[in-house]
Structure 1
Amino acid sequence: MRIVRYHAFGPAEVLRVEKAEVPRPGPGDVLVRVEAVGVDQADVQRRRGEHPVSLPVLPACPSADVVGYVEEVGPGLPAARVGERVVVWKARNAYADYVTAPLHRTVPVPAGLSAGQGTVVGSTGRVALQVVDTGRLRAGESVLVHGAAGAVGHMALQIAKARGAHPVIATAGSPQKRDFARSLGADIAVDYGETDWPGQIREALGGRGVDVILDGVGGDLLHSDVRLLEPYGRLVFYGASGSPTARPTLSFLDVLGMKYVTGFSMATLLEHRPDLAESGTRRLLEAVGSGSVRPVVAAEVPLADAAHAHDLVEARTSCGRVVLVP
């Protein structure tokens, strides 16, 4: 089979297509024939050697959300699972024709979704739902979603809208992305690259601040976020897609006025509250199955051209998720 690896950190060209043996499923594992693989900003950051939390041991193949069919089961699993169409969330060595994964890291693909859309139901959609949960968003509250046209952001926007948030405010860096966010339900869309974007939002809200802010971009946005919060407002920081090497700091003085700042980590949630992670997955599948939340695929790129897929993500011009297809 084919697998995409990189042997050094650097530009997209370090990604190489190599030959490898088809992996064998161990006890409790399934072998999945890959239909689509999600490509995330974190994959790009790790390839560049710039991820703010962890870097892989080289040579490396990204871990990513995968959709495909179960081809074989390992010891301890019923043969009846063969043929099922599943999403594997954060499969190891994911840029490949086949992957293995523990059965508990799979969920069924909701009916009616394409393979590419199905990848969004993996870790990306789960993060989107959980950051909304972490913000304790209530119906009628205002919510600001940064990077609202991205893989996580476009899902978080829709989830917030489905829960009755109003108004839903989106930030995005181009007119095309802002139109995309509006098409998914954003009531207000602004360019966070403009220096007065917080003022534009306050003006649209009649001088008020925002109740809940979901920030996966980071960097200097965090300071503006805190100032923009309404008293008793909540800021959830869950990523640094915009500034992976930046280390912004907040003073205790920044949160005077009853402002709450928290971080979100899926790994921490899985370790300490697996019950919340499991219920979140069920609710995500229900939302996607009902049509209230719609995953969007920005582009499908052949597996052999993984470097191009990374270029698309780095260019920040895509609306929705970029996926690889064998």
Structure 2
Amino acid sequence: MKAAVINNFGITPRYEDFVDPVPSNDEILVHVKAVVLENFEKGVAGGKHYSSKNMYPQFPAVVGHRGIGMTPDGKLIGFSIMWSPYGSFAEKAVAKNFTPIPDGIDAEIAAAIPPSALTSLLPFKNTVKLNKGETVLINGATGVSGRMAIQIAKLLGAGRIIGTGRNETSLKLIKSLGADAVIDLKQSDENLLDAFEKEGGEKGYDVVIDFLWGHPAEILMQSFVPKSMGVARKRIRYVSIGEKAGSVANIKGEMLRTSGLELSGAGKISPEEISAGMMQVWDWIKENKLHMDIEKVRLADIEKAWLRNDLEGKRLVIIP
């Protein structure tokens, strides 16, 4: 079969011949139909992720850890947890952990939308427990997952949604997706602090979903610090999901003491909650309520696709 193969960490995958995988008794052989090229895949294959050596204990290896495949009886399934040296960026894969894809949903949509949707849906529903009418800020709203978070916050009944970003065209686009206001991060720290305070208003933010972290998060959390003495006016449930702007943010004690800030990761989410979230996402897809800019690329062009950096808000889906 043909596959995207690496011979060491940090090497751009090449389109090469690779020995077909052979399923064991509890696995099935599937023909791969669609795989999403995410930064996660690049990070793991680059040796930069904590799971890199676990996922790639030997070389050569096929990249990718999940995808959409077709079973021998013609059914689409989502599969994950590949066994080295086999990955999902290939014409064929073996699947042990898989879920059926509802009828009527294309492989490309099934590959691209659910992972991004769950990234914010699960924290909204289970970590911060978003209530209808609450004010939400999406820090890093112009990326793929940020745009999805805007749509999901709207679908869950958020009262006001503010999105941040650096691309002017994308900032305009997220308003069409449901953002009530946008904040351009390309301004001085002083002006950015003023913008965060202004958009928060007297009532402030209820929920923050942060895909950026780093310096923008520092300025944002500084905006929560009250200007007068007293107890916290409200809870600010802040979930850190990504770190596109940096892995370190300087958190001062004053940002926590009287601001009401409650800082967390996505939190512990049960398999049952993930399953319920997945069912909700399928329903929204079938109702055409979730939208994503998807570009299909042939597996044969994996080298060019891997090196692309022009994907603001767009998801690449690899088609074998």
- Fold match, TM over 0.5? yes
Q: Which amino acid aligns with 2:39?
A: Q
Q: Please state if 1:259 is matched with 2:252.
A: no
Residue of structure 1 aligned with 2:158, choices 156, 165, 168? 165
Query: Highest Rg: 1 or 2?
Result: 2
Cα deviation, 1:24-55, whole Å, max 9, x if unaligned, reads 3333333221221101122222333333x432
1:190 match: 183
Partners of 1:66 and 1:91 within 8 A in 2:
no
Partners of 2:101 and 2:110 within 8 A in 1:
no
For 1:299 and 1:132, how far apart are their aligned partners in 2?
28
Partners of 1:235 and 1:260 within 8 A in 2:
yes
1:281 match: 278
Deviation at 1:237, TM superposition (A): 0.8
Deviation at 1:208, TM superposition (A): 4.6
Cα deviation, 1:120-170, whole Å, max 9, x if unaligned, reads 244332222112222221111111123323332222221111011121112
SS in 2 for 1:300: strand
Residue of structure 1 aligned with 2:101, choices 93, 101, 108? 108
Q: Please state if 1:293 is matched with 2:290.
A: yes
Cα deviation, 1:62-107, whole Å, max 9, x if unaligned, reads 3344223112xxxxxxxxxx2111233565611111122224x324
Deviation at 1:262, TM superposition (A): 0.6
Partners of 1:214 and 1:237 within 8 A in 2:
yes
Gaps in structure 2 of 5+ consecutive residues: 225-232
Residue of structure 1 aligned with 2:90, choices 93, 96, 100? 96
Q: Which amino acid aligns with 2:214?
A: G
2:115 match: 123
Gaps in structure 1 of 5+ consecutive residues: 72-81
Q: Which amino acid aligns with 2:169?
A: Q
> TM-score, normalized by length of structure 2?
0.83
Q: Which amino acid aligns with 2:124?
A: V
Deviation at 1:279, TM superposition (A): 1.5
Alignment of 1:1-326 (within 5 A): 1-10=1-10, 14-51=12-49, 53-56=50-53, 57=56, 59=59, 60-71=61-72, 82-89=73-80, 93-103=87-97, 105-109=98-102, 111=104, 113-133=105-125, 134-195=127-188, 196-229=191-224, 231-243=234-246, 246-257=247-258, 258-264=260-266, 269=269, 273-294=270-291, 296-312=292-308, 315=309, 317-326=311-320
SS in 2 for 1:68: strand
For 1:156 and 1:89, how far apart are their aligned partners in 2?
23
For 1:218 and 1:90, how far apart are their aligned partners in 2?
28
For 1:163 and 1:225, how far apart are their aligned partners in 2?
24
RMSD: 2.6
Q: Which amino acid aligns with 1:318?
A: E
Q: Quick one: structure 1 residues 121 and 26, their matched pair in 2 at CA, closer, same or farther if it must change by over 3 Å?
A: farther
Partners of 1:30 and 1:101 within 8 A in 2:
yes
For 2:198 and 2:244, how far apart are their aligned partners in 1?
27
> TM-score, normalized by length of structure 1?
0.82
Q: Quick one: structure 1 residues 137 and 262, their matched pair in 2 at CA, closer, same or farther if it must change by over 3 Å?
A: same
Q: Quick one: structure 1 residues 205 and 221, their matched pair in 2 at CA, closer, same or farther if it must change by over 3 Å?
A: closer
Q: How many residues align?
A: 301
Deviation at 1:233, TM superposition (A): 0.8
For 1:238 and 1:249, how far apart are their aligned partners in 2?
17
Partners of 1:63 and 1:90 within 8 A in 2:
no
Q: Quick one: structure 1 residues 144 and 68, their matched pair in 2 at CA, closer, same or farther if it must change by over 3 Å?
A: same
Partners of 2:6 and 2:63 within 8 A in 1:
no
Q: Which moved more, 1:169-178 or 1:222-231?
A: 222-231
Query: Runs of 4 or more off by more than 6 Å in structure 1?
Result: none
**Identical columns (%):** 23
SS in 2 for 1:210: coil
1:75 match: none
Partners of 1:4 and 1:96 within 8 A in 2:
yes
Q: Which amino acid aligns with 1:220?
A: H
Partners of 1:225 and 1:235 within 8 A in 2:
no
For 1:189 and 1:252, how far apart are their aligned partners in 2?
28
For 2:81 and 2:114, how far apart are their aligned partners in 1?
7
